């Protein structure tokens, strides 16, 4: 085990949890549902999500009116709903979502986290990070003449975003066929878009897809059902309600994928999703790859604090350093774990990789970009061990190349040491995406981390 020995001198090996997973206070909690909204720029993501927040009662009409007023002052009236999601002034001026906006709300006794990922071409890494925390993707399509086609064909981002969600292991997809108000809810257009999109989604491995004709602008089929003669299925909100959390509570040791880090008085607050186990007040934890040891002093969940949180929940943890560990060095993309069970770190590992419909095969020495959660690094295929069939059996040893659609067992070397979780420990955290020349070429899972990291200094 190359997991590092924690840096702290204090011995926490005798630390015992006060709260158990089977306690009724713990089992009473339903894990949150995390949704990521994706789509081509201007498809109407922000408007749709703003509408969702308004119609579920999370933001008031008053707030919307206030935003509408300031929007019209700079000549962007129609953007008022979008402003509920786009947070910074700079984003308001530009009308483009830059980083990920997160909105949290509870609806009929369940917590929802909606991540509004940027549609702009340059911000794919943020989208990958969003998808890495998501149970479901809401893919927003502009149904207007040519608009869907612009997003779908050529350099449009629609397919790329769907591929990324698939690559990050997001199992559920909702297709919001948006702006249907402009088309008087024309069934022919809806069917045309659903057919093309459905074909593509099934090709990349999605089977359970809900297509919803909707309008973020009028609110049709977002939360409130629109009376359409040919559509009797669920709204977007009702579809979300029916989706289970991809992270089930389990008895494994705590693992938190750190999404954001903030300095706070006397320490650091990290936020992100718990992908395994429980966290509780006064628990000692260790953060990889920097090996910092800290004590959890406060656990923020929903809109308050609790003395524990469990797998599937999104949390803010206030950390206090132990024995002079420098918590300022913690970065988004690090993994926080139980003190006695740290996550490995390294830059050389064995992985199972599946390639999408790539133009060029992968050879030994091929370089690409590696993404896991909020971490990115340059990766080199240093060894090609074998090609695998769908069941994971070897069909060829030492292949010369890996081609489109193939799955292979390989060794990758990254340019940086990062936190690396094994697939057998945690499927979500072991998952990564590979891209080349701005296109997603495949995905994989870490299977084994090398004992000695490569010295890249």
At 25, which helix (H) or strand (E)? helix 24-27
- Check: CB of residue 200 under 8 Å from CB of residue 139: no
**Least gap, CB of 82 to ligand GDP (angstroms):** 4
Please identify, using beta-carbon distances, which residue of 140 and 355 lies nearer to ligand GDP: 140
Please identify, using beta-carbon distances, which residue of 41 and 317 lies nearer to ligand GDP: 41
Q: Give the burial string for 119-153 (b: 16+ CB within 10 Å, else e).
A: bbeebbbbbbbbbbbbbbbbbbbbbbeebbbbbbe
Distance CA 457, CA 454 (A): 9
**Least gap, CB of 165 to ligand GDP (angstroms):** 16
Distance CA 193, CA 191 (A): 5
Tell me if 39 contacts ligand GDP by CB under 6 A.
yes
Question: Backbone phi, then psi, for 35, in 5-degree steps?
Answer: -120, 140
Distance CA 293, CA 284 (A): 7
**Least gap, CB of 218 to ligand GDP (angstroms):** 7
Strands 255-264 and 335-338: antiparallel
Among 179, 348, 372, 435, contact with ligand GDP (rule: CB under 6 A): 179
Q: How many CA atoms lie within 13 A of 394 on its CB side?
A: 9
Say how many residues touch ligand GDP, by CB under 6 A. Answer: 21
Tell me if 193 contacts ligand GDP by CB under 6 A.
no
Letters for 70-89 (x = contact with ligand GDP by CB under 6 A, - = none) are --------xx--x-------
Among 32, 45, 211, 327, contact with ligand GDP (rule: CB under 6 A): 45
Tell me if 221 contacts ligand GDP by CB under 6 A.
no
Please identify, using beta-carbon distances, which residue of 36 and 276 lies nearer to ligand GDP: 36
Distance CA 438, CA 444 (A): 18
Tokens of 341: 């069970």
Cα 125 versus chain centre, distance: 10
Tell me if 176 contacts ligand GDP by CB under 6 A.
no
Distance CA 437, CA 164 (A): 15
Tell me if 117 contacts ligand GDP by CB under 6 A.
no
Letters for 134-153 (x = contact with ligand GDP by CB under 6 A, - = none) are ------x-------------
Q: Is 203 helix (H, G, I), strand (E, B) or coil?
A: helix
Tell me if 52 contacts ligand GDP by CB under 6 A.
no
Among 32, 133, 157, 215, contact with ligand GDP (rule: CB under 6 A): 215
- Binding region for ligand GDP (CB under 6 A): 39, 41-47, 78-79, 82, 97, 119, 140, 178-179, 181-182, 215-217
């Amino acid at each position: 085990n190359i997991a590092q020995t924690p840096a702290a001198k204090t011995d926490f090996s005798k630390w015992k949890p006060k709260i158990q997973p089977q306690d009724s206070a713990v089992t009473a909690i339903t894990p949150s549902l995390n949704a990521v909204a994706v789509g081509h720029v201007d498809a109407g993501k922000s408007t749709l999500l703003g509408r969702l927040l308004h119609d579920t009662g999370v933001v008031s009409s008053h707030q919307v009116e206030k935003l509408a007023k300031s929007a019209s002052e700079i000549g962007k009236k129609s953007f008022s709903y979008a402003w509920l999601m786009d947070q910074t002034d700079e984003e308001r001026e530009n009308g483009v979502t830059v980083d990920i906006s997160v909105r949290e709300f509870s609806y009929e006794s369940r917590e929802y986290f909606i991540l509004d990922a940027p549609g702009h071409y340059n911000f794919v890494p943020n989208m990958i990070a969003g998808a890495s925390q998501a149970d479901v993707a809401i893919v927003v399509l502009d149904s207007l003449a040519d608009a869907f086609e612009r997003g779908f064909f050529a350099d449009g981002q629609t397919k790329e975003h769907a591929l990324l969600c698939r690559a990050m292991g997001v199992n559920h997809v909702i297709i919001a066929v948006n702006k249907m108000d402009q088309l008087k809810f024309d069934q022919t257009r809806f069917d045309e878009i659903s057919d093309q999109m459905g074909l593509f989604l099934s090709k990349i491995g999605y089977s359970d897809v809900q297509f919803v004709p909707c309008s973020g602008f009028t609110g049709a089929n977002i939360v409130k059902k629109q009376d359409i003669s040919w559509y009797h299925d669920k709204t977007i909100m009702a579809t979300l309600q029916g989706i289970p959390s991809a992270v089930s509570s389990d008895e494994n040791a705590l693992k938190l994928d750190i999404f954001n880090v903030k300095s706070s008085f006397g320490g650091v607050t990290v936020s992100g999703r718990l992908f395994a186990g429980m966290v509780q007040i006064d628990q000692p934890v260790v953060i990889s790859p920097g090996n910092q040891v800290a004590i959890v002093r406060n656990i923020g969940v929903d809109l308050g604090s609790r003395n524990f949180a469990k797998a599937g929940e999104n949390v803010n943890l206030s950390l206090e350093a132990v024995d002079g560990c420098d918590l300022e060095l913690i970065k988004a993309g690090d993994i926080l774990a139980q003190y006695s069970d740290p996550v490995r770190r390294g830059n050389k590992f064995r992985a199972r990789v599946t390639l999408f419909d790539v133009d060029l095969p992968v050879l030994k020495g091929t370089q690409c970009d590696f993404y896991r959660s909020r971490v990115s690094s340059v990766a080199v295929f240093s060894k090609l061990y074998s090609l695998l069939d769908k069941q994971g059996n070897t069909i060829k040893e030492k292949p010369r190349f890996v081609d489109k659609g193939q799955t292979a067992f390989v060794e990758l070397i990254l340019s940086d040491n990062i936190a690396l979780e094994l697939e057998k420990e945690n499927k979500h955290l072991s998952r990564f995406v590979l891209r080349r020349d701005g296109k997603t070429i495949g995905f994989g899972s870490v299977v084994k981390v090398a004992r000695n990291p490569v010295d890249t200094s």
